[in-house]
Structure 1
């Protein structure tokens, strides 16, 4: 029987799901991906800047998680995996650049010594005394990570160490992200009986820090996306699906032109704000869970500077809270990944949870801010030879306190044959999206096999 599998959303989650379905069912199925964008890939987007490829959405993956190295090996792309050059990132705080504190867990320090120079003497004293203070912790709790760190280490550690990390990952802050999402190993150590936050952070450090933390793909993520599309043998329909309804044992999808398409199973891989209108009738519990996830928007400005521009030998700069800069992070791409052309490439990120900067600020204004911020941070007057701007609107979910309960609501509220995948369930990074897509594909294949 020729089954019809439909995937709503052509980002990395949707494309990995399509690939996994194809592997599971073979040639005897039609796999259709619906996405109205100008290209597949969602927040993975490779552009050309100064004659070189550059990723202007997600740019890297954590290599200590197994999903991406395994997927690249499976696709014959291991040789395209690249590592960072080994140069370190920095933090811009109090009007100057500081080394990124060593031995932290997503910005949570393991000792007062690690943040010496970044915070004041009173904060150092508070951190030094922290292991002797009585810790009140409820196993299973998921407070905002900022509340925990501020209580044990002080507000300066939140603003100057934790916030810069979380702003880069989530476009949020320590006040908007739960500790089980921001630092799950720290939360697990607290559950297991750690006697202080210092003790928990030390227990949570990786047992080995050897080897690179981040990897990327030579030629950009478009290399991976192209191979997933090729192997999936999918049909891409460049339209948006607006509603999903039950149809006997299967489903009917209505697109934005009023056409209807039937499917035996569906994987929905669109941003959380779109879920309600799509699945509200067939999975109201999951749709309600989606409505509980706030989202942020961000704009990425990528810039090519003339070769020889005196940028520091660092991978980039994370910006502490409260600084008089517009950017929240600067990635010195050619320093981080190695030079592959004459120009110096860099990326600057703008926009945090709670603001509308990415929606309303013009490209010209973003470029003006970028030039000013580069002069403030590095003391150089940038003279770009090429500039790109891309906006990621409502694309950054906030993993707030209790997010695990929201994820459980998603799964409990889905009928057989309908699965959900995306960066708002089990992790915002590419490896987590790939893992979630694997689960979604397995669920819909299993559901159709039972019919």
Structure 2
């Protein structure tokens, strides 16, 4: 379809310049051709959202998202479509570890986000008592899930006990959502497990086993781009050929009486708004965090605005360390750390995870290069640690690294990147909440929503929502 065809919009505003917004802009350009005017509004001074590649010791290094699931097709397919397939990289053959019960052990393989297919799969992570609780789960009374949803943590604790959640499930979820199992819903977080139970699986163990292949797949789980994920942002922006307005948050969104939409943008509401602060367009894609979407939709569709307002957010920070060349790291891709784990002095760890980037990615492992590491900080509801100044936060993370690995080398470069409200929490009922949003928005002409607050926080999920939003907009 081209812009000249009947019903196609001739002007579209995309609100949000992260991966979702840029994918939507790119897909609209491909679907509608050169004659449609696409304007991207981004509140910050740079495009990319949580995809950000910075310079660390003179090397490109991702300080937001570092990779995406390669076994989900959207990220790899988009890179291929953009001519970037040759730039894809996959992790080296080092396994991840987890700090469990005061020991660092290999991350169990046969689980679904920590839900085990058998007690043997997680025996190394648990105490003897914890392993017995997991083994007993298959013999508990059969499961019938509530129609709406249930807290993932509450269900797992009732079936397996606390230890599996604290030592394995929560560290895994902390890396994805910066939240724990108790605050997340089963159906949005582990939908395959919920579907298996709905289909008749008698236990969580059986539901997990049904999702896992008999033989482990040799296909890589994750992928990234050798020059950093900002190269994807740059390519999308170029191919979208949109007018980009940086530092221009959209303050108001309203329907025009004669059709289409009016956007008012700017950091504040001046007495006499400049001409470029108001834009009339035929259609809009909202690809912004839940609070911004709620605010913009408040007078347009209160139902969707209320549902967006129910999505809570977690903040986090990445502490990037460049250690001197030759610094020895553990033979692992990284380590996850549960909230219940303690240092030798009894204090909690500041970091929730480390990625040994120099081990994990070939592009960071060249001879003579600085040894690059990422430390992640921040869980939902735990804001005190993020109040520390950058220098103090880096000191605390380095102390954790030394305790976990005996690596205490002085960094040659350090960078702290904070992500305030960066990760939406998929609480119980999230699937129904998103359904309310999408029904309400579908009733409005010429507007669509996309982004991490809907159907997944990862890059492929965001790409999928953006692609679907663009196609629906054109299809209307």
Same fold (TM over 0.5): yes
Cα distance, 1:212 vs structure 2:
1.1
Equivalent-residue separation in structure 2 for 1:277 and 1:196 (angstroms): 42
Stretch deviating more after TM superposition (369-378 or 133-142): 133-142
Q: State the TM-score, normalizing by the size of structure 1.
A: 0.96
* Structure 1 match to 2:396: 369
The equivalent position to 2:329 in structure 1, one of 283, 288, 311, is 311
Judge which range, 128-137 or 402-411, deviates more.
128-137
Closer, same or farther: CA 359–369 of 1 in aligned 2, 3 Å: closer
2:345 aligns with none
The yes-or-no answer on 1:381 pairing with 2:391 is no
Q: Does 1:88 align with 2:117?
A: no
Map Cα deviations across residues 18-65 of structure 1 (whole Å, 9 max, x no partner). Answer: 000001110111111011322100000011112211111111111111
For the residues of structure 2 that align with 1:240 and 1:46, how far apart are their CA atoms? 22
Is contact 1:139-1:191 (8 Å) kept? Answer: no
Please state how far the C-alpha of 1:176 moved relative to its aligned partner.
Answer: 1.0
Other-structure match for 1:439: 468
Report the CA distance between 1:359 and its aligned residue. Answer: 5.1
The answer to whether the Cα contact below 8 Å between 1:267 and 1:420 also exists between their aligned partners in 2 is yes
Mapped partners of 1:406, 1:361: distance in 2:
34
Cα RMSD of the aligned pairs, angstroms, is 1.4
Aligned counterpart, 1:147: 154
User: How far does residue 195 in structure 1 lie from its aligned partner after superposition?
Assistant: 1.3
Cα 1:127–1:358, aligned 2, differ >3 Å: closer, same or farther? closer
Kindly indicate whether the alpha-carbon contact (under 8 Å) linking 1:374 and 1:382 is maintained by their aligned counterparts in 2.
Answer: no
CA distance in 2, matches of 1:273, 1:233: 28
Decide which of 28, 31, 38 is 2:38's aligned counterpart. Answer: 31
What is the correspondence of 1:43-58 to structure 2 with a 5 Å cutoff? Answer: 43-58=50-65
Other-structure match for 2:351: 327
Which residue among 235, 252, 257 is the counterpart of 2:243?
Answer: 235
1:217 maps to which of 222, 225, 228: 225
Structure 2 equivalent of residue 249 of structure 1: 259
Task: Report how far residue 273 of structure 1 moved.
Answer: 1.2
What do residues 309-350 of structure 1 show as CA deviations (whole Å, max 9, x unaligned)?
Answer: 121011101001212200001011111112146111111111
Deviation (angstroms), 1:360: 2.0
In structure 2, what is the Cα distance between the partners aligned to 1:197 and 1:137?
A: 11
Name the structure 1 match of 2:344: none
Q: Structure 1 residues 334 and 215 mapped into 2: Cα distance closer, same or farther (>3 Å)?
A: same
**Corresponding residue number in structure 2 for 1:275:** 293
Match of 1:199 among 193, 200, 206: 206
Q: Is the 8 A contact 2:401 2:407 kept in 1?
A: yes
Aligned residues: 447
Q: Residue 302 of structure 1: which of 320, 333, 336 is its match?
A: 320
Q: Determine helix, strand or coil for the equivalent of 1:328.
A: strand
Alpha carbons 1:371, 1:381 under 8 Å: kept: yes
Which of 268, 287, 290 aligns to 2:305? It is 287
**Residues 152 and 184 in structure 2, CA contact (< 8 A), matched pair in contact too:** yes
Gap change, CA 1:357 and 1:347, over 3 Å in 2: farther
1:77 and 2:84 equivalent? yes
Secondary structure at 1:376's aligned position in 2?
helix
Alignment of 1:406-421 (within 5 A): 406-414=433-441, 415-421=444-450
Is this contact kept in 1: 2:140–2:203, CA < 8 A? yes
Structure 2, unmatched stretches of 5+, are: 342-347
CA distance in 2, matches of 1:365, 1:265: 46
8 Å CA contact 1:350, 1:357 repeated in 2: no
Equivalence for 1:354: 381
**Runs of 4 or more above 4 Å deviation:** none
Asked if the contact 2:100/2:168 (under 8 Å) is kept, the reply is no
Work out whether residues 15 and 284 of structure 2, in 8 Å CA contact, stay in contact via their aligned partners in 1.
Answer: yes
